[in-house]
Structure 1
Amino acid sequence: MILSVSRRTDIPCRFTPWFLNRLRAGYALVRNPLRPSQVSRVPLTPGAVECIVFWSKDPAPLLPHLGELEERGYPFYFQFTLTPYGRDLEPGLRDKGDIEAAFRALSRRVGRERVLWRYDPVVLTEGYPLSWHRATFEAMCARLAPYTASVTISFLDLYPRLRSLGLRAPEAGEVRELAAAFAASARRQGLDIRACAEPWDLTPYGIRPAACIDGALIARLTGREVTARPDRSQRPACGCLESVDIGAYDTCPNGCLYCYADHGRPPAPHDPEGELLTGALRPGDQVRDRVCRPALSGQTSLFSFGDH
C-alpha cells in the first residue's frame, strides 16, 4: 500500500514521535472519520508499506529520523506546503525563513525530486491581492528552484465557514491571470507546474493536473511498476492513486484559517505512546485489521532515480 502521512493533519510537524513509535510497533489504529466507532488496524511494516507520502508545512522534526526510515526500507517523498502568508492566516507555524531553511535542508538530504513544493491554496484578502501573489510567487520560485523540481498550485475552496473570515477565492478571470503569471514564473526557473484538483482547465498556460499520490514518481523512486488504482474517494478532479491515510481531522495545531481538515471541534488528547493519534479506544469500538491491496508489482520499472 501507499501510506499517506497525512492529508488530515500535519504529522511530520506535530506528531513525529507518535509516528515513529507506530512504525516501530508495526501498526497504527485509525478511526473512520465518517463512522467513528469503526477503527482500522493499519499495518506499518516495510512489507506492507510500499511508499510513504508525507504532507507537511514544516517537517523539520522528522528530518533527524530519515535515516531510520531508510534503514527500515521505507521509500518516501514529501509534499511540502510552503506559502508566504503571515500568522494572520497561519498562526501556528514558525517563521517562514526558518521553514525555508528546513526546505533546503530536506532537499539536500533526500534530493530535489523527493521534495515537491506546494503553493497551496491561493487565498485573496485585502492584504494578499493578486499583485502580491504574482510578485511573491516569482520570488519564491527563484529561491526554491535549486531545491525542488516542481510546484503544485491550488486555489482556495471557499467553504461556508470561511466567508465570515474575510477570505476570498479567485474568480474566473483572476484564476486565468494568476495561472498565466505563475506558469511564466515557474518556466523561467525550470520548474514543472501543476494544479491540484482544480475544475479549471489550465493546460493553455502549461499547467497540467497534478497527481499528488503520483504513480510515475513512485515508480521512479522504487524502481517497480505501480499497479494502484485511482483514488475514487477524493474530489472528481483529483489525480491521486489510492492510499491509506493514518491521520485524523481536527487535530492539527498549526491553526491555518483556510484549512479544510479543521471543523472547529476540539481534539482529543494526544499521547505519543498511544495506538491512535488522539484519544483512546472506547466501549463499543469495532477494531478490524485493514486489508491493504498491494500498490506495486514485483516487476521492475524501466526507470528509477538510480538511472538519472
Structure 2
Amino acid sequence: MIINTGQRTDIPAFYAEWFANRLKEGFVCVRNPYNPHQVSRYRLDPSVVDAIGFCTKNPVPMFQYMELLKAYGQYWFVTITPYGRDIEPNVPDKHGLLEAFKKLSDMVGIDSIGWRYDPIFISEKYTLDYHLRAFRQMAADLAGYTKTVVISFIDLYKKVKRNFPGVQEVPAEERMILGKYIIDIATECGMTVKPCAEGNALAIYGAACGGCMLISDYERAIGKPMKVPKRKGARAECACYISCDIGAYNTCKHLCRYCYANAEPEKVLAQSRLHDSMSPFLIGNYMEGDIIHDVPQKSWIDGQLSLF
C-alpha cells in the first residue's frame, strides 16, 4: 500500500522528528477530519507499505532521518515557487531550496522526485513575464535532477479567499500562453510538465495531462509493478492516486496566503502548539471516546514476472 503525508500539511518541514518517531515505533494514528473520534491506525512497516509519498516546501529537516526511510519506496514532490515572503512568509530562501532539491535527488534518485511550481497566480508584482523568467532560471538549475514538473493555476477556495483577499484567477488566455512557454522551457531541461487538475487544454503543447501522481510514477520510483485497488482522486477533476494521508489540516506553519489546507493563521498556530513529537497523533493524543480502527494493510507489489 501507499502512505501519503502531504495533502493536509508539510510533515518534512515542521514535523520531521515526529515522523521519525512514528517510523521507529512502527505505527501512526490519524483522526478523521470530519469525525475526530474516528481514528485510523496504520502500521508503518515496509512489508505492507510499498511507498511513502511526500509533498513539501522544505525537505531539509528530514535529511537527518533518511536512514529510517531506506527500506521504503519513496516519491517526493518539492514545491519551489518564485514568490517572496509577502506570499510565503515562512518558506526558506529559494536558492537554498534549489540546492536541497538537488541533494534530495541524489539521495533518492531522479525517478523518485518531482518539482511543483504551483499554484500560479498573476499580479502587478508577479506578472506573466516574471513567471517566465523565474521558471526558466529554476528549471535550468534543476535540469538533470528531476524528470517531472507539476504546474497548476490558483483555485479560489473559501480558505484562499479569506487568507488572500484580492487574488484573481488566471484568465484562460494567459493560462495557455504561460503553459506553452513553461512546457517549452521544461522540455529543453529534460522535464515533462504535468498540469494538476487543469483539464487537457495544454496537451496540444506536449503536457502530460493524465494526472500528476499516478501509480505508474510510484512504480518507476520503486522499480516494481503494483496491483492496486481502485480509488477516486481527491477531487472530481483529479486523476491522481491519493491514499491514506497521515497529516492534519490547519497545521502547516508556512502560512502561505494561497493555502487551501489552512484556516486563519491564529488557528494554525494554536493547533501546532498541541503537537507532541512522541504522540502517535500529529496533533494531540488519545482522547476519551476514540474509536480505533486498525486499517487492513498489505503490499500491492505484483510479484508476477512480465514477459515484456
Answer whether TM exceeds 0.5 for this pair.
Answer: yes
Alignment of 1:32-181 (within 5 A): 32-70=32-70, 73-163=71-161, 165-181=165-181
Find out whether 1:282 has 2:287 as its counterpart: yes
Q: Given that residues 80 and 118 in structure 1 are in contact (C-alpha distance below 8 angstroms), is that contact kept between their aligned partners in structure 2?
A: yes
Match of 1:211 in 2: 211
Alignment of 1:12-31 (within 5 A): 12-31=12-31
- TM-score (norm. length: structure 1): 0.92
Q: Given that residues 199 and 209 in structure 2 are in contact (C-alpha distance below 8 angstroms), is that contact kept between their aligned partners in structure 1?
A: no
Q: Given that residues 223 and 300 in structure 1 are in contact (C-alpha distance below 8 angstroms), is that contact kept between their aligned partners in structure 2?
A: no
Alpha-carbon distance in 2 for matches of 1:102, 1:302: 39
Structure 1 residue 141: Cα displacement: 1.1
Match of 2:271 in 1: 267
Unaligned runs of at least 5 residues, structure 1:
304-308
Q: Given that residues 228 and 242 in structure 1 are in contact (C-alpha distance below 8 angstroms), is that contact kept between their aligned partners in structure 2?
A: no
Q: Given that residues 153 and 196 in structure 1 are in contact (C-alpha distance below 8 angstroms), is that contact kept between their aligned partners in structure 2?
A: yes
Alpha-carbon distance in 1 for matches of 2:49, 2:144: 30
Alpha-carbon distance in 2 for matches of 1:3, 1:230: 15
- TM-score (norm. length: structure 2): 0.92
Amino acid at match of 2:97: I
Amino acid at match of 1:143: D
CA deviation string 1:80-103 (max 9, x = no partner): 111111111111111111111111
Moved more, 87-96 or 239-248: 239-248
TM-aligned CA distance change 1:210 to 1:121, over 3 Å: farther
Alpha-carbon distance in 1 for matches of 2:49, 2:226: 13
Structure 1 residue 277: Cα displacement: 0.1
TM-aligned CA distance change 1:196 to 1:233, over 3 Å: closer
Q: Given that residues 5 and 55 in structure 2 are in contact (C-alpha distance below 8 angstroms), is that contact kept between their aligned partners in structure 1?
A: yes
CA deviation string 1:143-198 (max 9, x = no partner): 11121111111111112343452222211111111111111111222211111111
Alpha-carbon distance in 2 for matches of 1:141, 1:33: 36
TM-aligned CA distance change 1:31 to 1:220, over 3 Å: same
Partner SS for 1:65: helix
CA deviation string 1:275-299 (max 9, x = no partner): 1001122222211111235433223
Alpha-carbon distance in 2 for matches of 1:140, 1:80: 13
Alpha-carbon distance in 2 for matches of 1:296, 1:261: 31
Amino acid at match of 2:79: T
